[in-house]
Amino acid sequence: MADNKKLVEAITSMEEDFAQWYTDVVKKAELIEYSSVKGCMIILPAGYALWENIQRQLDDRFKATGVENVAMPLFIPESLLNKEKDHVEGFAPEVAWVTHGGMEKLQERLCIRPTSETLFCDLYKNIVHSYRDLPKNYNQWCSVVRWEKTTRPFLRSREFLWQEGHTIHETYDDAEERTIMMLNVYADFCKEVLAIPTIKGRKTDKEKFAGAEATYTIEAMMHDGKALQSGTSHNFGDGVAKAYGIQFTGRDNKLNTPYQTSWGMSTRIIGALIMVHGDNSGLVLPPMIAPTQIVIVPIQQKKDGVLEAANRLKDSLKDFRVKVDDSDRSPGYKFSEQEMRGFPLRIEIGPRDIENGECVFVRRDNAEKCTVKLDEAPAKAKELLETIQKEMYERAEAHLKSSIFDARTYDEFKDIAENKPGFIRAVWCGDEECENIIKADTTVTSRCMPFDDTELISDKCVCCGKPAKHLVYWGKAY
């Protein structure tokens, strides 16, 4: 058990230092390794398996709404990028440039894509001619580069994996419908697969995506009370299309300008998964997303018949993602390592269990144990995995609800920001200057103006006292 104790102690307690706890979990669970390029990470098999499951399930949901996948170039010519002023200004500080090809200086710099709106505009200009060509509902799975100053694995890195959807439509209403539809896809995915509750709403103009007419977001609450923007969907109106000269012949036989959207979710959602569900022993993975849902640990595996029984049990659980840990390590070490990696369900089986025709199930989320007859193992596994998924969401939702605080005065707001980690519900006049003052005073930013929760808890802006226009969720964020 000495190895077991040492392994667990390698994780800093989240109560002691949440940031260090996060880094310890990411490293000890072998999700990433640091690369020789500052701010870039190597995603190891355990981490990439999570992304594969996220990608697979999101992709199915996208395609169910009529989305098709494409692949766009990595490079954007500077002249193409410069056609949309607001978009360029928003990304300029983060853009990485290619200036040479081999030993020769390029005639025009090439931007390594931070996002691909400009590339899709260039494409749509060539393939959209008539209203009959619309809509185009495209998505690509790729990596992008943003030259971040401060980086942290998954949460913020200079190169990261994501998907970016780009659609183009005949009318503003069609574009708005798609924008909200994709936001709901993200919110449903987080709830149903990742067991993460979110708050849906619209970003303020200060916080919206560069060049967008409106940005919608899902905001998740981490264990330490900080917010994480977990997925966004943007309505560009027709402004970007006008900048790139995209036109089509409408039903009125006149030239019209189309309307565009974009929407994305990245590997930062793996950071959310860790910080919403993890504990001081490591990862806690919801069964729906866990690459391994069940791990079987043979006890006294060198004794005759134990490994064979473990493998027979695995065969009976063929409907699940299951593996047998037959490594040459002590059961205690295996238990600790499996807790670290967050496998939802552990099954222990040894000589005495085999003799009694049973095995022991152990839940990762709450450590509850139960003895199960071997022939009942598949049914019990299904029941427990469904229960774990449901209860993990319920716990996360309870944490979210208990971490929302109302502020009606600026003194209340500042006190909550200082002493109560979580979201602050407070009304706002709509003036960006108030957002700037709040951020300067408290490091709190506007997260979203919620769709479902629109109660104006006061008639005066929490900052300046002018008439209130919007209810806003505020919070410190990653």
pLDDT per position as a tens digit, 20-35: 999 999 999 999 999 9
Q: What percent of the chain has pLDDT over 90?
A: 93
Average pLDDT, integer, range 100-119: 96
Residue 238 pLDDT > 60, yes or no?
yes
Average pLDDT, integer, range 452-477: 95
Q: What's the rounded Cα separation, in Å, for the pair 139 and 170?
A: 18
Residue 260 pLDDT > 80, yes or no?
yes
- What ranges make up the beta strands (E) of 74-213? 75-77, 96-101, 104-112, 136-145, 159-169, 198-202
Could you tell me the pLDDT band of residue 9, with boundaries at 50, 70 and 90? low
Q: What's the rounded Cα separation, in Å, for the pair 311 and 300?
A: 14
The pLDDT value recorded for residue 88 is 72
The pLDDT value recorded for residue 1 is 34
Fold of 13-277: BirA Bifunctional Protein; domain 2 (3.30.930)
pTM equals: 0.95
The per-residue pLDDT of the chain, averaged, comes to 95
Cβ–Cβ < 8 Å for 451, 201:
yes
The pLDDT value recorded for residue 2 is 38
- The sheet with strand 322-324 has its strands ordered as 322-324, 294-298, 345-349, 358-363, 369-373
Q: What's the rounded Cα separation, in Å, for the pair 120 and 72?
A: 8
Q: What percent of the chain has pLDDT over 70?
A: 98
* Structure token digits, residue 145: 């580069």
Q: How long a stretch of residues is the chain?
A: 478
Cβ–Cβ < 8 Å for 323, 296:
yes
User: Which secondary-structure segment (H or E) carries 296?
Assistant: strand 294-298
Helix then strand then coil, % of the chain, to nearest 5? 40, 30, 35
Question: Among 448, 439, 455, which Cα is nearest to 215's?
Answer: 448
Per the listing, tokens 């969720």 go with 473
**What is 294-385's CATH number?**
3.40.50.800
Instruction: Write down the domain spans for the chain.
Output: 13-277, 294-385, 404-475
pLDDT, one tens digit per residue, over 207-231 is: 999 889 999 999 999 999 999 999 9
Could you tell me the pLDDT band of residue 56, with boundaries at 50, 70 and 90? very high
Residues 6+ apart with CB under 8 A from 467: 429, 459, 460, 461
Q: What's the rounded Cα separation, in Å, for the pair 81 and 91?
A: 10
Fold of 404-475: Translation Initiation Factor IF3 (3.30.110)
Cβ–Cβ < 8 Å for 202, 449:
yes
